[in-house]
């Protein structure tokens, strides 16, 4: 069943004025929001706190990748902010991911912990430059299995890999998919893009969308239209 708040709106802004202007036009009952490096670096933890206080589930997308102890402390700090989801890089390895899981274990307010597999901005040629030869899919599958075995709640991946991932991971293992675009939208710096309904059909649980919604004249109207397109026929 598709989560009625499967949409995660990426708040890629430099200041809270723009963020609040946009979120005033959104409904936290219909979507979640994502705070990434751009906004968090400019504004800091108060960006998350203000959004949580406005009733939004917040995905803190900082992609932690460091030694296990540092990542463990970072995910605790994220949980203390009241985030709904936080992520790490799967390429940090099993020890790092398990440290993050252990750090959150037993918390009543435990956020979902997900791992980035391969950035949706990367094509096979980009992977080859950093020493990974072959199709992106193989790398994604390997990292997803590693993340699941480490105890994480899901992975961040392209919806292009979702169908194959669904064959190897538990049904409750969440697939969070950036690179979602409406028909006719520019791909921008994303290389592995998919339309919303196709992503859900492939097995995606959550769809991260930015400019398709944030640059629209009626952001909530776009959210509602996307939700309708995802509803079972």
Active centre residues (catalytic)? 63
List of residues 6+ apart from 130 with CB closer than 8 A: none
**Is 97 within 8 Å of 146 (Cβ atoms)?**
yes
**Nearest alpha carbon to residue 36 among 9, 54, 72, 74:** 9
CB atoms within 10 A of CB 164: 17
Dihedral sign (CA 180, 19, 61, 230): negative
Strand partners, 176: 156, 206
- The CA-CA-CA angle for residues 40, 45, 46, to 5°, reads 105
Give the C-alpha separation, 25 to 52, whole Å: 16
- State the first-to-last Cα distance of the chain, in angstroms, to the nearest integer: 12
The token duo for 118 is: 């391969």
Buried b / exposed e along 70-89 (16+ C-beta atoms within 10 A): ebbebbeebbebbbbbbbbb
Looking up tokens 């936080």, which residue turns up?
86
């Amino acid at each position: 069943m598709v989560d009625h708040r499967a949409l995660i709106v990426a708040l890629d802004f430099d200041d809270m004025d723009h963020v609040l202007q946009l979120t005033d036009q959104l409904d936290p009952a219909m979507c979640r929001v994502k705070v990434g490096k751009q906004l968090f670096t400019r504004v800091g933890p108060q960006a998350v706190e203000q959004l949580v206080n406005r009733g939004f589930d917040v995905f803190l997308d900082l992609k932690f990748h460091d030694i296990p102890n540092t990542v463990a402390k970072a995910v605790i700090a994220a949980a203390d902010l009241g985030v709904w989801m936080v992520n790490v890089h799967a390429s940090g390895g099993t020890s790092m991911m398990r440290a993050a899981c252990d750090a959150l274990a037993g918390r009543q307010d435990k956020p979902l912990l997900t791992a980035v597999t391969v950035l949706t901005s990367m094509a096979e040629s980009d992977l080859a430059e950093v020493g990974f030869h072959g199709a992106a899919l193989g790398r994604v599958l390997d990292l997803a299995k590693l993340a699941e075995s480490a105890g994480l709640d899901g992975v961040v991946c392209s919806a292009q890999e979702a169908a194959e991932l669904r064959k190897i991971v538990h049904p409750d293992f969440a697939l969070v998919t950036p690179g979602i675009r409406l028909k006719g939208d520019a791909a921008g710096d994303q290389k592995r893009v998919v339309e919303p309904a196709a992503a859900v059909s492939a097995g995606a649980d959550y769809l991260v969308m930015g400019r398709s919604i944030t640059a629209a004249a009626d952001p909530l109207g776009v959210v509602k239209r996307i939700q309708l397109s995802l509803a079972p026929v």
